[in-house]
Amino acid sequence: MQDAILATYLIETQHPLEKAAQVMAGEQSAGTFVRVPGETPELLEKHGAKILEITPLEAVSAPSLPGAKPPRQSHSSQWQRARVVIAYPFDNVGLSLATLITTLSGNLYELGPFSGLKLLDVEIPAVFQSRYPGPKFGVAGTRQMAGVFDRPMIGTIVKPSVGLSPDQTAELVRTLCEAGLDFIKDDELQTNSPHSPLEARVKAVMAVINDHHVKTGKKVMYAFNITADLDDMRRHHDIVLAHGGTCIMVNMLAVGPVALRAISQHTQLPIHGHRAGWGALSRHPLLGMEYVAFQKLMRLAGADHLHVNGLRNKFCESDESVIASARACLSPLFQAQDVAMPVFSSGQSTLQVADTYRALNSVDLLYLAGGGIMAHPLGPAAGVASLRQAWDAALQGIDLHEYARDHVELRQSLEMFAAL
């Protein structure tokens, strides 16, 4: 018998915890509180999900989500939180990512007894690897294609996010290549629009990147956002490949897990996984899922790079959550090479480098910065140099301001941010 799929949830309920967990297990497998014909003890034994652990946590005095139904004879004004581990029989699911997702997070969020329910983590049995080997390129393959080793890859995003023509984009890319960037990406909003058709953008941008490659030996990695209908995504991929491009980008939630998987079967290039829309699934502490779980599903689908936000970001996510996400991306799913490259983005600059390295203890990451590069007083090349210097300092355990004394680009970067 195959190993079960183990899912860990955070729940909040007024019902007895054991009963509440049984409702979850029943809804997502065979068996509910109401026995139906055909639901034999043998069937329940083989196909019923099992509750492995219930760990009571704090109680709260108000429900986190509206609409929950109290027990019939409850007069309690407390809502109990708990961590619950449920084992789903592999035989219910089979080797299907979409069925796995349905089982882990189907009707659960709507179940009457719960004023809060969040998927925290999932343990996926090794048998899935035979069909879903994970990222095709991952960290090692990305480094190989970008020619960047032993340090973080420094990148940026084309801005304005929409509105530039292919030629204007290529012009900006020339500046960014010359500035020494390792990685450039389209914005998540820029896909294949009338004002910047993907094919024209690829041609214009790759002419610049290939030219820079011939001149300098450095092949800058550009993540072209191929997000579209599936046939178009495949065609977009082929266009990128044909012009010597080395990365494709997919808005994972906008296309969905099965389309991402289809692209991963087709691709000869690393997939840069953007998580636009993720906030809807994660913003509430008692609803949706943790990125720790989500990133496993996306790696199963084939994502090589995974956005994790960044420390002290412009969004609402805590630093703890960002670091937990990045660590999870760098933890093997089935084997060492199936790790994905975490992408730090959103208001990142020289200021967050030391803390990022301290928390992650790894240089296997993409570090994307915008303003700190383009607005550096000595120009974009100095902006990139300042970021490289900040990472050098962090790696050598030298204080940022001390290191800045004899590194002018870093010094001017810190002065610029101090003046803001």
Q: Could you say which residues in the range 268-307 bind a second copy, by CB under 8 A?
A: 276-281, 283-285, 287-289
Quote the Cα angle for 384-390-396, to 5°: 135
Q: Which is nearer to a second copy, 32 or 144 (CB)?
A: 32
Q: Is 39 in the site for a second copy (CB under 8 A)?
A: yes
Question: Which one of 9-17, 136-144, 216-224, 252-260 is the stretch in contact with a second copy (CB under 8 A)?
Answer: 252-260
Q: Which is nearer to a second copy, 221 or 281 (CB)?
A: 281
Structure tokens at 315: 């969004």
Q: How far apart are CA 165 and CA 196, in angstroms?
A: 5
Q: Could you tell me which of 243, 335, 338, 352 has the C-alpha nearest to residue 298?
A: 338
Among 208, 240, 260, 353, binds a second copy (CB under 8 A): 260
Strand partners for 60: 79
Among 16, 19, 78, 159, binds a second copy (CB under 8 A): 159
The CB-of-186 to a second copy minimum distance in angstroms stands at 11
Q: Which is nearer to a second copy, 265 or 361 (CB)?
A: 265
Q: Is 160 in the site for a second copy (CB under 8 A)?
A: yes
The CB-of-148 to a second copy minimum distance in angstroms stands at 25
Strands 50-60 vs 79-88: parallel, antiparallel or unpaired: antiparallel
| Residue 128: strand, helix, or coil | helix
| Residue 196: strand, helix, or coil | strand
CA dihedral angle for residue 63, residue 69, residue 75, residue 77, rounded to 10 degrees: 0
Among 143, 212, 237, 261, binds a second copy (CB under 8 A): 261
Among 233, 247, 322, 340, binds a second copy (CB under 8 A): 233
Q: How far apart are CA 11 and CA 406, in angstroms?
A: 53
Q: Which is nearer to a second copy, 4 or 363 (CB)?
A: 4
Q: Is 181 in the site for a second copy (CB under 8 A)?
A: no
Q: How many residues bind a second copy (CB under 8 A)?
A: 93
Q: Is 371 in the site for a second copy (CB under 8 A)?
A: yes
52-111 positions binding a second copy, by CB under 8 A:
65-69, 90-94, 96-99, 101-103, 105-111
Among 370, 388, 394, 413, binds a second copy (CB under 8 A): 370
8-27 positions binding a second copy, by CB under 8 A:
none
Q: How far apart are CA 113 and CA 20, in angstroms?
A: 7
Among 129, 168, 210, 337, binds a second copy (CB under 8 A): 168
Q: Is 199 in the site for a second copy (CB under 8 A)?
A: no
Q: How far apart are CA 81 and CA 48, in angstroms?
A: 24
208-227 positions binding a second copy, by CB under 8 A:
227
Q: How many angstroms separate the Cα of 265 from the Cα of each of 139, 228, 251? A: 18, 16, 17
Question: Which one of 78-86, 324-332, 368-376, 385-393 is the stretch in contact with a second copy (CB under 8 A)?
Answer: 368-376
The CB-of-298 to a second copy minimum distance in angstroms stands at 11
126-155 positions binding a second copy, by CB under 8 A:
none
**Which residue do the tokens 């550096």 mark?**
376
User: Backbone phi, then psi, for 298, in 5-degree steps?
Assistant: -70, -35
> Cis (ω within 30 of 0) for the bond into 197?
no
For 117-133, letters b (16+ CB in 10 Å) and e give bbbeebebeeebbeebb
The CB-of-38 to a second copy minimum distance in angstroms stands at 6
296-355 positions binding a second copy, by CB under 8 A:
309, 314-318
Q: Are 115 and 65 in contact (CB under 8 A)?
A: yes
Q: Which is nearer to a second copy, 17 or 375 (CB)?
A: 375
Q: Could you tell me which of 57, 88, 72 has the C-alpha nearest to residue 19?
A: 72
